[in-house]
């Protein structure tokens, strides 16, 4: 349960997709003055060092945010999609040196991106079970503005978040992105969303998942869309692949085969902002072009028929 550490994966292509969608969604939601409840049920550390031991061990940011920035700087006159530009603005807020062409040293995880949009009238609830990550999360959030509006809970977010639904303001964004290390995580996500929609059907729910050769991963988006349809709610589904997921090359018998890593991921948003589909229609081709590793890089974007 406690083996997964997101610090190894911070800033990879899956983070970029998730955080582009998250920041675009929040940017829309905070346009309304009414208080917003923001919940992250698998919060991690909140902030990550891209030059730290964990990130350097995996080097996953090299095919994610570092590749995106390199491609952007190679074509400085190319227009940037609004959702991508908004995401990069947040990254630069945590890395002022980027304005002069420097590389980012700090990567803002989902809690830090959420905090970027937090207002005095809002509340943020963060859940993290991994003890070391929870302590790091507490310290990182305490050093950011509006810390008193942020609450860190050392408990299972699947169950813990339900007591905050519905919020007093009847407005909330809930992010669900477990590690999916266990096959049972996929079924747990479905059960959790069913319970959350039963309590609070009008909330905005953002669920990230890996696209890997596992039946549970293939079935998850279909099940999430079915729950939304049964609740009479709209949905949006976006995926991004940066390369082929198939191993290639000559392997010597007895030699351990190097894993290629996750090549694609997806996001399902229940009750998405009506602007999100158009924003992602512009952003996803750019993410594919700027982070794609081979000719099989691609994306997919679909929405429910009743979503404008």
**What residues form the annotated binding site for S-adenosyl-L-methionine?**
19, 42, 110, 128, 156-157, 177
What are the catalytic residues? 177
Cα(20)–Cα(240) distance, rounded to whole angstroms? 12
Largest CA distance in the chain: 63
Beta bridge partners of 123: 37
User: Exposure of 179 by Cβ count < 10 A (0-12 exposed, 13-18 middle, 19+ buried)?
Assistant: middle
Phi/psi for 208 (5° steps) reads -95, 150
pLDDT at 208: 98
**pTM higher than 0.85 for the full model?**
yes
- Percent of the chain at pLDDT exceeding 70: 90
- The tens digit of pLDDT for each residue in 39-87 reads 999 999 999 999 865 544 557 888 899 999 999 999 999 999 999 999 9
**What residues form the annotated binding site?**
19, 42, 110, 128, 156-157, 177
pLDDT at 2: 47
C-beta of residue 43 within 8 angstroms of C-beta of residue 111: yes
pLDDT at 3: 47
Cα(58)–Cα(61) distance, rounded to whole angstroms? 8
Cα(260)–Cα(294) distance, rounded to whole angstroms? 13
Q: What residues have CB less than 8 Å from 6, skipping those under 6 apart?
A: 44, 45, 48, 109, 133, 179
Residue owning tokens 């050769």: 213
Q: What residues have CB less than 8 Å from 101, skipping those under 6 apart?
A: 73
Long-range contacts of 187-196 (CB under 8 A, 24+ apart): 187/216, 188/158, 189/220, 189/224, 190/220, 190/223, 190/224, 190/227, 191/158, 192/41, 192/158, 193/224, 193/227, 193/270, 194/227, 195/162, 196/161, 196/162, 196/165
Kindly give the confidence (pLDDT) of every residue in the chain, 308 residues in length, as a single tens digit, with 9 standing for 90 and above: 444 456 678 999 999 999 999 999 999 999 999 999 999 999 999 999 998 655 445 578 888 999 999 999 999 999 999 999 999 999 999 999 998 888 899 999 999 999 999 999 999 999 999 999 999 999 999 989 899 999 999 999 999 999 999 999 999 999 999 999 999 999 999 999 999 999 999 999 999 999 999 999 999 999 999 999 999 999 999 999 999 864 433 344 554 444 557 999 999 999 999 999 999 999 999 999 999 999 999 999 999 997 65
Cα(82)–Cα(158) distance, rounded to whole angstroms? 32
pLDDT at 250: 39
Q: Which domains does the chain have, with CATH numbers?
A: 20-244+271-303 (3.40.50.150)
């Amino acid at each position: 349960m406690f083996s997964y550490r997101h610090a190894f994966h911070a800033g990879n292509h899956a983070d970029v997709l998730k955080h582009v969608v998250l920041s675009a969604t929040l940017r829309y939601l905070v346009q309304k003055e009414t208080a917003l409840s923001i919940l992250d049920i698998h919060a991690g550390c909140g902030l990550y060092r891209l030059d730290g031991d964990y990130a350097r061990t995996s080097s996953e940011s090299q095919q994610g945010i570092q590749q995106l920035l390199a491609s952007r700087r190679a074509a400085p006159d190319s227009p940037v999609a609004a959702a991508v530009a908004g995401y990069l603005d947040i990254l630069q807020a945590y890395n002022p040196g980027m304005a002069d062409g420097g590389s980012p040293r700090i990567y803002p995880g989902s809690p830090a991106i959420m905090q970027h949009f937090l207002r005095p009238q809002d509340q943020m609830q963060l859940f993290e079970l991994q003890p070391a990550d929870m302590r790091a999360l507490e310290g990182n959030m305490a050093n950011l503005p509006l810390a008193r509006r942020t609450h860190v809970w050392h408990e299972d977010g699947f169950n813990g978040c339900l007591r905050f639904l519905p919020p007093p303001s009847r407005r909330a964004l809930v992010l669900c992105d477990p590690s999916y290390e266990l096959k049972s995580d996929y079924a747990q996500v479905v059960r959790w969303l069913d319970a959350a929609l039963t309590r609070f059907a009008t909330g905005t729910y953002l669920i990230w998942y890996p696209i890997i050769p596992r039946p549970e991963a293939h079935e998850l988006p279909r099940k999430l869309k079915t729950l939304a349809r049964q609740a009479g709610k709209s949905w949006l589904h976006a995926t991004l692949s940066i390369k082929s997921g198939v191993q290639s090359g000559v392997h010597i018998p007895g030699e351990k085969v190097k894993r290629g890593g996750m090549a694609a991921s997806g996001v399902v948003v229940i009750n998405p902002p009506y602007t999100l589909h158009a924003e992602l229609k512009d952003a996803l081709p750019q993410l594919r072009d700027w982070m794609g590793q081979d000719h099989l890089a691609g994306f997919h974007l679909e929405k429910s028929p009743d979503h404008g």
